[in-house]
Amino acid sequence: DRHPEPQFEPDPTKKTLVILGTGWGSVALLKKLDTENYNVVVVSPRNYFLFTPLLPSCTTGTIEHRSIMEPVRTILRHKKAAVKFYEAEASSIDPDRKVIKIVDNSEIQGATSETEIPYDMLVIGVGAENATFGIPGVREHSCFLKEIGDAQQIRKKIMDCVETAAFKGQTSDEIDRLMHMVVVGGGPTGVEFAGELQDFFEEDIKKLVPEISPRFKVTLIEALPNVLPSFSKQLIDYTENTFREEKIDIKTKTMVKRVTDTTVEAEVSRPDGGKERVVIPYGLLVWATGNAVRPIVKDLITKIPAQKDSRRGLAVNEYLVVQGTRDIWAVGDCAVAGYAPTAQVASQEGNFLGRLFNNMAKTENHESRIQELSSKMNLQAGDSAEAAHEIESLEKQLRRIKDIKPFRYSHQGSLAYIGSEKAVADVSWWNGNLATGGSLTYLFWRSAYLSMCFSTRNRVLVILDWLKSKAFGRDVSRE
């Protein structure tokens, strides 16, 4: 099915729908949307969709990064009507003039790298950025784990630490520091990354650098009393016990306050209520303390009076309309709809908007046809019976279409990989909940994530990567 991308020609009779972002929310919307009904324009600095659930596996080379990326142009090629894509960042939104400003911040720029795009309808799906809480040193010295580039950087740094630790005459303290991998944030991102790292150590590093491998250590730091706060107590205990067996050191009730190029400084709450300052030397530091609001969203919040109390993103109503606006919708991590910032929520929201917009277009088509028929009826009495019949049937359909229920999230469960071929799952099971952990859950985790992959191509690549790293070990070349 390698047909060329259809040509984009804006139709002045149709509304222009601008979609920001190519993440879980926006891509789910694009998948569902009948693009024939609108002039669709997509703007994102990333010209691909990223399957984030398998991103932690890219940090150690269990999965190669391109296996979880899907080019947006490939996705758009399959749409009925052409969609315009601009690889650019939206830098500001003007809700009064109904235009957005876009900037090409990529390495190569042409004579024009900044322009404006008008919209009739706007969907904001720009996600979130990494929270640092203004803690000094975090941005300068740690790696995040959100984008492909982050995973690549981590993969390089792990091996750089190991190779530097193996350098001739390295001091003992320095070997310990370099081989110490510290993860801050015990949410699912931090936990999954720590698990992957320990697997890498057990399955590959141990064999490849046996002389220094006993010094390899993973520490997970969490401010709260336990990791995975959103999972059930049973699974928290299971994860913490598994980590203990795997020799991953979990430091809970430990709040990082400052980061230098070689150390993490944290405040530990002691059982007697006192506080203690600790300094932890590290070779690699991965920062996974959750989400913060992107500047473009912050800026828009200041322009809409009804959003004055919004702190964590754009407050939306039950149809995902940004409160205080009529033609702006928001999905995913940048929207506050009362759900957790997950891929599951973002994709269901995107899917909902796709259906909503398809319905809105149908409604408009039906309404204009009804108008056309009724004016005809007044002019030509002869045809009126037929026209009345059609109007009746159109009105019936309209009532059905217009009866769009508000967005309701349906939780399919939470899954997380915790290393050594074990996973934890909180899933809805018929009418009850099932909390499970272990190797069977791991197989379930693998098949669930495989089935969720964007395309067959992604699915095949991921399976091949799993087989490849099992058969030959992970590729530790530092490129």
> Which residues in this chain contact ligand FAD in the complex, by CB under 6 A?
20-26, 43-46, 52-53, 55-56, 89-90, 125-127, 145-146, 189, 294, 296, 332-334, 341-344, 346
Amino acid letter, residue 34: D
The answer to the question of residue 54 lying near ligand NAD (CB under 6 A) is no
| CA 341/CA 222 separation, integer angstroms | 19
The answer to the question of residue 373 lying near ligand NAD (CB under 6 A) is no
| CA 411/CA 427 separation, integer angstroms | 8
The answer to the question of residue 222 lying near ligand NAD (CB under 6 A) is yes
Q: Among residues 302, 301, 296, 299, which one has the least CA distance to residue 315?
A: 301
The answer to the question of residue 220 lying near ligand NAD (CB under 6 A) is no
Strand partners, 256: 266
Report the SS3 class of residue 209.
Answer: coil
Q: Which does 418 bind (CB under 5 to 8 A by kind): ligand FAD, ligand NAD, none?
A: none
| CA 111/CA 238 separation, integer angstroms | 57
Q: Which does 195 bind (CB under 5 to 8 A by kind): ligand NAD, ligand FAD, none?
A: none
The answer to the question of residue 340 lying near ligand NAD (CB under 6 A) is yes
Q: In what order do the strands lie in the sheet with 414-419?
A: 414-419, 422-429, 432-438
240 vs 349, beta carbon nearer ligand FAD:
349
In the chain, the N- to C-terminal Cα span, in Å, equals 35
The answer to the question of residue 394 lying near ligand NAD (CB under 6 A) is no
Contact region with ligand NAD (CB under 6 A), list: 74-82, 107-115, 270-278, 284-292: 284-292
* Residue of minimal Cβ distance to ligand NAD: 187
| CA 164/CA 170 separation, integer angstroms | 8
Report how far apart, in Å, the C-alpha atoms of 171 and of each of 164, 175, 177, 209, 383 are.
11, 6, 10, 17, 96
Binding mask 178-197 toward ligand NAD (x if CB under 6 A, else -) reads ------xxxxxxx-x-----
The answer to the question of residue 256 lying near ligand NAD (CB under 6 A) is yes
Q: Which does 283 bind (CB under 5 to 8 A by kind): ligand FAD, ligand NAD, none?
A: none
Query: Where do runs of H (alpha helix) occur along 333-438?
Result: 343-379, 384-402
The answer to the question of residue 175 lying near ligand NAD (CB under 6 A) is no
Q: Which residue has the tokens 């024009």?
A: 112
Q: Which of 221, 315, 377, 387 binds ligand NAD (CB under 6 A)?
A: 221
What residue ranges bind ligand NAD (CB under 6 A)?
53, 135, 184-190, 192, 221-224, 229-230, 255-256, 288-291, 340-342, 414-416
